[in-house]
Structure 1
Amino acid sequence: MFERLIAFQAQHQPQGLAIASAWDRFTYRQMADDIARCAAWAAELKLPWGSRALLAVPHPYLHWVLTFGLETAGVITAAASPLRGVADDLRLIGAHVLFARDVPDNALGVPVHRIDQAWLDGLQHYSPTWAGDRPRRGEDGFRIVATSGTTGEVKKILLTRAMMDRRVAETAVTQVFAPARSPRGISDIGVGSLAGIQLAFLCWTRAGTLCSHDPRGTWAQTLKDLEIDLMITSPYHLQVLLRSLPQDYAPDPELIVGIAGGSLSRPLAEECRRRLSPYIILTYGATETGSVTVGHIDSLEGAEDSAGYLNPWARVEVLDEAGGLMPPGRIGELRIGGDQVVDGYLDDPVGTAEFFKDGWFYPRDVGVLTEQGRLQVLGRVDDLMNIGGAKVVASKLENLVLKLPGILDAAAFAAPDEQGLDAPHVAYACEAGFDIAPLEAIFTDTLKRPPRLMRLDAIPRNLMGKIQRNTLRDMVVAAA
């Protein structure tokens, strides 16, 4: 079904670039032909309709050719995570077959097919006109996407063809922020994430180019050489990217930076304006919900914790601790509804019952919704530290710590003290020679308590860059 999008662009601009990196260029004509050849090859595998396949294929062109070729043959795909082993992903997805660049030596209990340049060369023996022999339906599965798993409990979402169609079509409403020309887009979040998937479709629906960063080069080279004008990133990944840029890097005022996966603090927003681009678009959503809000940072009154304005297809309500509706302007737990919200988690009735109720999804986020439909996301329910009856938002404390010279990353969290009562802690990563006194002062001045600090080489985060606070809590408990 979705291979038709590539075929459509191949018909009208065959030499247009569909996928590009610093080392490779692939036209729409090449991609359309290779997808058809891949579908013919996949048909010979005789995989049952609805089979699940895990793709451990990092090369973007091979990944998407294989995705669309298998989709044509009725196979549901999922991308392997760089944070988990292939064996764990196979169990998580319930995959019947593995397609991988590097074939594991150990037996995994499923058929394995190597996907590399030799495989692509071998496809040339197949006809580029294969069209399939079975009608496809909207309820057929297309993609399994693993949620970010901030609690460490990774869950699965099944996106059907109809749901993916709806999200692609409705996302077109927000393309008012996309470049006027065909975009050259890139994401540093990952091809397996929802943001990576939707960026690909956004580029291809507008006859643009999906670009990828090659780690053999620098981000400065990628942005300039590929003439990137649309970038999707998370606050954490943005922070890492900004640190990698040389001091003499010239920011590009035409580059649109879309922020997903968390709130953008004022210091990070100002650094992005100064060093990368002033054109910042804020969004909020989840794998479970699709896009919920969008907005240009300049229209969001400074944008501290702002997530944008509600999209026309999204519904958001704010609840008090008893589950009652809160009036506009009051802080509470968010719930999300709308036709982009999935029905539940795949193979997980318990998780579905916990997070999905009466057509609403409960993301466990805390926020404020104004009468004008502007949403502020202050953090997660778990991020609200109840310290002696006072509610402290972890992200507020983290933003103060991140302003200190020499701090590389930080995370605030609650963990038991010597009496077994929850107490605030701050984990931090820093440069050599860091002076801890200002950090201790922030802790005592803000929380009026003796500092509880934990120095780490790196803060544990998931694929989207979100802090895994439960992991930090467990580290404190284990140390005690």
Structure 2
Amino acid sequence: MHMAISSRVTVFPDIHTVMTLTPSGSLASNGWMLASLANQGKYCFRMSFADAKRNDVDFVLGSPRQFQKFLAGASETSGRKIKLAYLSGAPVPLPQRKEILSHFETMRVGYGASETGNAITHNYITEENIEDMSLGQPLPWAKLEILDDTGQPVAPGETGFVRMKSAAMSPGYLDANGKDPENLRNGWFYSGDLARLNENGNLVLLGRRDDRLNIGGVKVDAVTIDNALVEFDGVDEGGAFIWTAPATGAECLAVAIAVKNGHDSQNIEERVRALCASRFEKTYVPEKVFIASSLPRNRNGKLQRNRIAESLKATALA
């Protein structure tokens, strides 16, 4: 824990008033609370945007989904900007980056896990490099590799699965009964995330292992579709998934979208399909488009893709 706190203080030496959007009691929120106190600063938890401004918060931490909810109440665009937004947990779409930088001086995107003491990579995002979707290079105390399905490192630019380690590694889990779990072994943490290293050696996160949909042998990167959906006017959130027809058992690519309040959902299915057809190859165009009130997410705001179809069926039966 000491190394994990030290890494936060080292990466953010000027943090003072910190606010986390993550659930209270999580390792992330506890770690940042201790780091802010180590810097003789203050710690806040899940304030509204207006209250954060009134309390001179200068650093806000959370996932992209948590920031979306936080900024829903941010009506003011003038006056002092908050110093820094730090996002992790999922790729940050371009429209959301633009919104964040209208309220923050700068943003930082990062990658890591509780098992590695949190931070593994960081990348500063400003107006000048807003389209840089990478998460930066490994920090001095960390190491990261991209592996293929056989566990061998892939060449730069190729897609694979992430394993990482740091000086703040967890030695294991309390309930492991002396055995190495599948994702934490031989000194490495295997995150299950799909990623690649770009030409600069920066990490580009492509989603989770279950974000690579296999439909009749055709592989589809679901996160690519997700990011396109949230750029669509009137869409609050969207997710691609595999839909199985109840009558025949046939599988197809589908998307579920939640429409923003005040926006008309009429003909939105056709417009969403047209958007995907204009951007992607045929295999990325959904056969089914569902309207949902919201999409299933975990307590940190991460999309639970494997529960989308289940939630749609439950809603239909309600």
* TM-score, L = length of structure 1: 0.59
Instruction: Work out the number of aligned pairs and report it.
Output: 307
Contact 1:412 1:424 in 2 (8 A): yes
> How big is the shift at 1:249?
3.6
Distance 1:450 1:250 in 2: 40
Matches within 5 A, 1:318-333: 318-333=146-161
| 1:23-66 deviation digits (Å, cap 9, x = unpaired) | xxxxxxxxxxxxxxxxxxxxxxxxxxxxxxxxxxxxxxxxxxxx
- Residues 359 and 351 from structure 1, CA distance in 2 versus in 1: closer, same or farther, beyond 3 angstroms? same
SS at match of 2:12: helix
Q: Is residue 2:14 matched to residue 1:211?
A: no
> How big is the shift at 1:476?
5.9
Give the structure with the higher percent strand: 2
> How big is the shift at 1:272?
1.1
- Tell me which structure has the larger Cα radius of gyration: 1
> How big is the shift at 1:173?
2.2
Matches within 5 A, 1:112-191: 164-176=1-13, 178-179=14-15, 183-191=16-24
> How big is the shift at 1:405?
1.8
Question: Which runs of no fewer than 5 residues in structure 2 stay unpaired?
Answer: none
Contact 2:296 2:303 in 1 (8 A): yes
> 2:220 maps to which residue?
392
Whichever residue aligns with residue 106 of structure 2, its letter is Y
> How big is the shift at 1:328?
2.0
Matches within 5 A, 1:223-238: 223-238=52-67
Matches within 5 A, 1:378-457: 378-417=206-245, 419-430=248-259, 431=261, 432-435=263-266, 436=268, 437-445=270-278, 446=280, 448=282, 449=285, 451-457=287-293
Distance 1:303 1:351 in 2: 43
Shifted more, 462-471 versus 385-394: the winner is 385-394
- Residues 203 and 452 from structure 1, CA distance in 2 versus in 1: closer, same or farther, beyond 3 angstroms? same
Q: Is residue 2:170 matched to residue 1:342?
A: yes
Distance 1:456 1:204 in 2: 42
Whichever residue aligns with residue 230 of structure 1, its letter is F
Whichever residue aligns with residue 60 of structure 2, its letter is M
Matches within 5 A, 1:179-328: 179=15, 183-214=16-47, 219-246=48-75, 248-250=76-78, 252-274=80-102, 276-289=103-116, 290-298=118-126, 301-328=129-156
| 1:269-311 deviation digits (Å, cap 9, x = unpaired) | 011112x114101111112222111121149954554222211
Contact 1:220 1:249 in 2 (8 A): no
Distance 2:174 2:304 in 1: 23
> 1:56 maps to which residue?
none
Calculate the aligned-residue CA RMSD, in Å: 2.7
Contact 2:122 2:139 in 1 (8 A): yes
Distance 1:283 1:300 in 2: 18
| 1:358-389 deviation digits (Å, cap 9, x = unpaired) | 22111110111246542111101110112344
Matches within 5 A, 1:6-45: none
> 2:307 maps to which residue?
471
- Out of 263, 275, 295, the position equivalent to 1:459 is 295
Distance 2:156 2:264 in 1: 47
- Residues 359 and 202 from structure 1, CA distance in 2 versus in 1: closer, same or farther, beyond 3 angstroms? same
> How big is the shift at 1:444?
4.7
Give the structure with the higher percent helix: 1
Question: Which runs of no fewer than 5 residues in structure 1 stay unpaired?
Answer: 1-163
| 1:420-444 deviation digits (Å, cap 9, x = unpaired) | 3542221111135223131132345
| 1:205-240 deviation digits (Å, cap 9, x = unpaired) | 1111112345xxxx2321221011111121001111
Distance 1:415 1:343 in 2: 39
Q: Is residue 2:190 matched to residue 1:362?
A: yes
Contact 1:356 1:362 in 2 (8 A): yes
- Residues 292 and 356 from structure 1, CA distance in 2 versus in 1: closer, same or farther, beyond 3 angstroms? same
SS at match of 2:297: coil
- Residues 348 and 165 from structure 1, CA distance in 2 versus in 1: closer, same or farther, beyond 3 angstroms? same
Identical residues among aligned pairs (%)? 27
Distance 2:227 2:189 in 1: 28
Shifted more, 254-263 versus 199-208: the winner is 254-263
- Residues 266 and 231 from structure 1, CA distance in 2 versus in 1: closer, same or farther, beyond 3 angstroms? same
SS at match of 2:191: coil
* TM-score, L = length of structure 2: 0.86
Distance 1:400 1:272 in 2: 18
Contact 1:444 1:451 in 2 (8 A): no
